[in-house]
């Protein structure tokens, strides 16, 4: 109990320090870059209150968690991240609008020096309005992203092209569940609702690629709910980094009596109408360090290295970076998660894709004979999604038409 209390106290202190720092920086940005805005009470008072309210909600969150008061916990869990996201959006947008204001002042200065004139009133108002667009758009997008994170989980269908697909697997349906992060933001009712929607698609196989629950107390019930999918070729899970964070020994203990297994560094063989399917579950490097290439190569080799040469090889690998070695090994299909699609997307891809092309953030990827689908995830630990809806896709296998 004492350790739990100290962890909560430390968490509140850390959160309060971070939020306070963001609030102070934003206040300084307003005061220094936007003196006209700072004079307005409608701007100044909210700017001062925002970090204070955030610290209060973080304290409420911790207190509710400590005392087991669910309503307080939910209030804190919803309000604190929302205000944090708003602070971040202001931190990003205020320098842009400040640049516009600075340009106005510079132009005014040179116009007065050259001909004694200033910007006309109409132009000045237009430019000031343009400057206000940056923080207004940023805050609006933040609120939209927070709201979208609470939207129902979508069940899209995705056609997955496979280079050498056995005829028996044409139209084979896989329900791909990943990154549920059950706890504060996605609960068992949300999971039950998603499972009922998935059932209508009658999947042949259900695969859960890690980060199932951030609250191990509800993991057994979650696994029971998922098991009601009852696909004809079974349900299987692989491990994610959050299984390690929450306690891998406890997770494995729960899976010993679960309705379906978790595959870690192992594979099983499935017969689908005479077609051999080898399904494997890779281990997770359980770290956020930059380079875990060798770990992924080792676990993939350990998992599917001895798979029958003539089988269709299907790999569950929580980290999409496993795609590169899977291509080398000629694995047919890889299912991944972990990234949540970067939680900001446009046109079915993460907006961060150009910056991190080797992270394979969201969607279908194809190289050589290997195809991978990275799920945007069903849940999240930060309640913000903009253009990347929570999803549990139905993947429909189809033979790729080779040129």
pLDDT of residue 15: 81
Query: What pLDDT shows up at residue 291?
Result: 74
pLDDT value, residue 298: 96
Helix axes 241-256, 219-227, angle to 10 degrees: 70
In the prediction, which pLDDT does 359 show? Answer: 93
**Domains of the chain as residue ranges with CATH:** 2-148 (no CATH), 157-399 (3.60.21.10)
Q: What is the DSSP string of 69-121?
A: -HHHHHHHHHHHHHHHHHHHHHHHHHHHHHHHHHHHHHHHHHHHHHHS----H
pLDDT at 69: 81
What per-residue confidence (pLDDT) applies to 131?
A: 77
- Two tokens, residue 134: 């940056």
Cα distance between residue 143 and residue 195, in whole Å: 28
Query: pLDDT at position 4, please?
Result: 59
Q: What is the pLDDT of residue 289?
A: 62
Report helix angle 70-115 to 121-148, nearest 10: 160
Torsion of CA 261, 303, 334, 235, to 10 degrees: -10
The predicted structure's pLDDT at residue 280:
98
Per-residue pLDDT of the chain (403 residues; tens, 9 = 90+): 556 566 666 777 788 888 889 999 999 999 988 888 899 999 999 999 999 998 898 888 888 877 778 888 888 888 989 999 999 999 999 998 888 777 776 766 666 666 655 555 555 566 667 778 889 999 999 999 999 999 999 999 999 999 899 999 999 999 999 999 999 899 999 999 999 999 999 999 999 999 999 999 999 999 999 999 999 999 999 999 999 999 999 999 999 999 999 999 999 999 999 999 999 999 999 876 667 899 999 999 999 999 999 999 999 999 999 999 999 999 999 999 999 999 999 999 999 999 999 999 999 999 999 999 999 999 999 999 999 999 999 999 999 876 5
Can you tell me the distance from the alpha carbon of 244 to that of 251, in angstroms, rounded to the nearest whole number?
A: 8
């Amino acid at each position: 109990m004492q350790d739990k209390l100290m962890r909560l106290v430390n968490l509140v202190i850390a959160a309060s320090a971070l939020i306070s720092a963001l609030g102070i920086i934003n206040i300084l940005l307003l005061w220094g870059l936007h003196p006209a805005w700072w004079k307005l009470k409608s701007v100044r008072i909210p700017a001062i209150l925002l970090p204070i309210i955030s610290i209060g909600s973080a304290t409420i969150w911790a207190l509710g968690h400590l005392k087991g008061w669910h309503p307080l916990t939910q209030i804190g869990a919803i309000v604190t991240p929302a205000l944090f996201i708003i602070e971040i959006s202001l931190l990003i947008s205020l320098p842009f609008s400040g640049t516009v204001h600075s340009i106005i002042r510079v132009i005014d200065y040179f116009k007065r020096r050259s001909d004694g004139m200033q910007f006309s009133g109409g132009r000045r108002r237009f430019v000031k309005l343009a400057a206000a667009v940056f923080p207004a758009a940023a805050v609006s997008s933040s609120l939209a992203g927070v709201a979208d994170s609470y939207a129902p989980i979508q069940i899209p269908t995705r056609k997955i092209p496979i280079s050498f697909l056995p005829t028996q697997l044409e139209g084979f349906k896989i329900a791909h569940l990943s990154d549920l992060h059950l706890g504060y933001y996605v609960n068992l009712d949300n999971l039950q609702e998603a499972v009922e929607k998935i059932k209508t698609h009658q999947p042949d196989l259900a695969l859960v690629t890690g980060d199932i629950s951030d609250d191990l107390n509800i993991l057994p019930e979650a696994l029971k709910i998922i098991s009601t999918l009852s696909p004809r070729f079974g349900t299987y899970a692989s491990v994610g980094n959050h299984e390690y964070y929450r306690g891998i020994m406890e997770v494995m203990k729960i899976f010993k009596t679960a309705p379906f297994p978790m595959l870690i560094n192992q594979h099983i063989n499935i017969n689908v109408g005479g077609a051999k399917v080898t399904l494997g579950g890779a281990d997770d490097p359980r770290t956020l360090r930059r380079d875990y290439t060798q770990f992924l190569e080792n676990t993939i080799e350990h998992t599917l290295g001895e798979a029958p040469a003539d089988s269709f090889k299907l790999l569950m690998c929580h980290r999409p970076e496993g795609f590169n070695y899977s291509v080398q090994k000629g694995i047919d299909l890889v299912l991944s998660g972990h990234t949540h699609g970067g939680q900001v997307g446009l046109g079915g891809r993460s907006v961060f894709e150009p910056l991190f092309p080797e992270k394979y953030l969201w969607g279908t990827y194809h190289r050589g004979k290997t195809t991978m689908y990275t799920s945007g995830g069903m849940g999240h630990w930060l309640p913000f999604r903009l253009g990347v809806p929570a999803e549990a896709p139905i993947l429909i296998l189809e033979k790729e038409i080779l040129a």
